[in-house]
Each structure stands twice: as structure tokens, then as C-alpha cells.
Amino acid sequence: MKQLFKLSTIKFPCRGSRRLALALFFPLWGLAGLSCGGGSMSDAYGNFEATEIMVSAQAAGQILQLSAGEGTLLQAGEQVGLIDTTDLFLQKQVLLAQGEAVAAQFAILQAQADVQRQQIENIATDFARIKNMRQDGAATQKQYDDAEGAWELAKRQLAATESQRIALRSQQETIRRQAAQLDNSIAKCRIENPRTGTVLASYAEAGELAVPGKALYKTGDLSEMKLKIYVSETQLAGIKIGQPVEVLIDAPGGGLQSLEGAVCWIAGKAEFTPKIIQTRDERVNLVYAVKVAVKNDGRLKIGMPGEVNFSGRGVNGVRVVNGVNGVRVVNGVNGVNGVSENVNYLTYLTYPTYSNSSNYINSSNYIQQ
């Protein structure tokens, strides 16, 4: 049967016994308070982060338009801005004019080559006739030599024309490549969002000058957050990629909310414990970084703290959830067995980790046993 006693009504045999009881009482109070906070119950702790992308300008010029305000959700491939393309457009027009001029020269050389081929055919016919007449003694040697020379000259002229045509064809190819390069530069003036995400920060406005490499805005994929934690070598043996885990975050009212997560990355080598999360003495220990992927329904924010239980329940302690004006304890593992919901009472509960009978304290006024 449970009875209620005021602490002040407990009688002690002597004053020294009362001091001893109080000395044992208040350390247990602090121990229970630590358990209530869940500070030592989870397997690992860390902060949430998102996959962030820095979008930079790829062209130089004045920013004519930029729609990337902070908090805006942008889709992959969405055009969010434009850089002035006037200079590039004029350069392309010059190239197009040069290409037209080269095409006209090429056409002239094509016609010239056709004429030269016809001349070669006519000269070849005359040369064959004079050659036969020379064999019959009706043509002189000089006539034969002149006909042969005219035939060779016509063939060389055709070869020169063909060389010019090849040069013009190469020039046309160069102009086409330069035009394609300008088209690519013009395309880079269109600022397109590379990946679906929310704008986290904006670094430029319309009207400013952009240069290649200048940061315009930063986006982050908030649909799935990564909780980066650090584990010891002994914990690492029981962790693998894809392993489901329990993630705990702060809840309104002072308790914790439970979310589902999965291990998505494990560091390949150890590092010294980050000094921002441990004491100076513990910073000499080697730990492994681990990332846990958690679907975000809007509650998770970048930098928000979180806790991880690899077994799904509290380890060597308790899992505390939804504490409102008190504490509700569930799934005790090697720790508190039972439920305490009233902050005005002190409950005697079994806590094997520390002693056979220790005090789970919510107040210094009453004891419930």
C-alpha cells in the first residue's frame, strides 16, 4: 500500500543520522533530475544540417532580374534571374555577318572551280589532238609543248582554287564554333536554379554587377535533414548504413518528440572529439562522425539539436516524451521502472544502474512509496 509522508515528519535517531540522510537524499535528487532531462539516456547527440548549394553567377554583366528571396521554394531548372546579354548579342551579330561573307566567297570559288574544270576538259581535248598531229608530222614541237603547258597550268589553277575553298570551309567552321560559344555564354546569363530547395540566403539584387563566381544566393533541401552525430569506436560496431534509428527532438512543453531516421553516412576515419560538444578532457578521444537522414515535415530546422537512439529506446536509462508540467517515463531499460506524472511528489523507484532502491525526485516536499 502506498503511503504519503512529509519529509519534515520523518524522525531520525540523532542529528548526525539526519545529516547522513540528507546527504544521501540530495545527490539522488540530482541524479533523478538528470534522468528526467534525458541528457544521459540517448546514444548520441548532434545538430541537424541540410544539403546546401551556393548558386553563383557564370557571366559578367548587370543583373537585370533576380527572384530569389529568402524563404522562397525554387524548383530544379527554374529560371530565377537574368544577366544583361547586350554585348554578347552584338558579338554574335558580327560573327553572323562574317559567316555570310565567307559563304559568299565560298560560292564564288565554287563557280570558279567549275569554270576551271571545263577549261581543263577543253585544253585536254586540244592537247590530245596536237599530240596525234605531231605523230603524223602535222604539228610542230612548239605547238605540242604549248598545249601541254596550258593543260598543266589549268590543273594547277584548279588545285589552288580547291585550296582556297578548303581554307574558307575551315573559316566557316571556326565561325560556327565561335557562335556556339557565344550561345553558351548567353545561356549562362540565364540564372537557373540547379536543384529543388528553399532559399536560405540571398547575396545579390537586381541592378548590381555580376562577375563569374560571385555568389547570388544559397539554397538548401529541407525536405530531408541530416543529423550529424559522433559515436565512439565501441558504438561503431553496431551501426551500419541504412539502419533505422530513433531520433528525438525537443517538443513544446519541455518534453521530447520521437521521429524515424536512418543512418545514411559513416565517416571512414576517426577524428578527435569536436570541442564544441565535449569537455576538454574528452576532446582527446577519437570518435566517428555519423549522419542520420530524417524526413522533415516542417518541424526540423538547420542547427536544431537532436538525439539518437540506435536501439529505438533509452539505453541504460529512460526515454522521456511529452513531459508537460511533469514527466512521463516509458520504456525504461536498465533504469526507471514505472510512471511519474506529478511534479509535487518524490517516487521510490528501482534504479539498478546505481542502487537497488534510489529516489526519482520531482520535489523536495513529499515521498510516495
Considering the domain architecture, whether residues 266 and 348 belong to the same structural domain is answered as no
* Total domain count, the chain: 3
* Statement to judge: residues 170 and 225 lie in one domain: no
Q: Domain check: are 77 and 210 in the same one?
A: yes
- If we measure between CA atoms, which residue out of 240, 306, 236, 323 comes closest to residue 35? 323
Q: What is the pLDDT of residues 27-41, one digit of tens each?
A: 333 333 333 444 447
200 and 295 share one domain: yes
16-69 pLDDT tens trace: 444 434 333 433 333 333 334 444 478 999 999 999 999 999 999 999 999 999
Query: Are residue 174 and residue 200 in the same domain, yes or no?
Result: no
Residues 157 and 204 in one domain: no
CATH for 220? 2.40.30.170
- pTM assigned to the model: 0.62
Q: Which residues span the domain enclosing 358?
A: 1-41+317-369
Residues 260 and 283 in one domain: yes
Q: Express each pLDDT in 203-257 by its tens digit.
A: 999 999 999 999 999 999 999 999 999 998 889 889 999 999 999 999 988 889 9
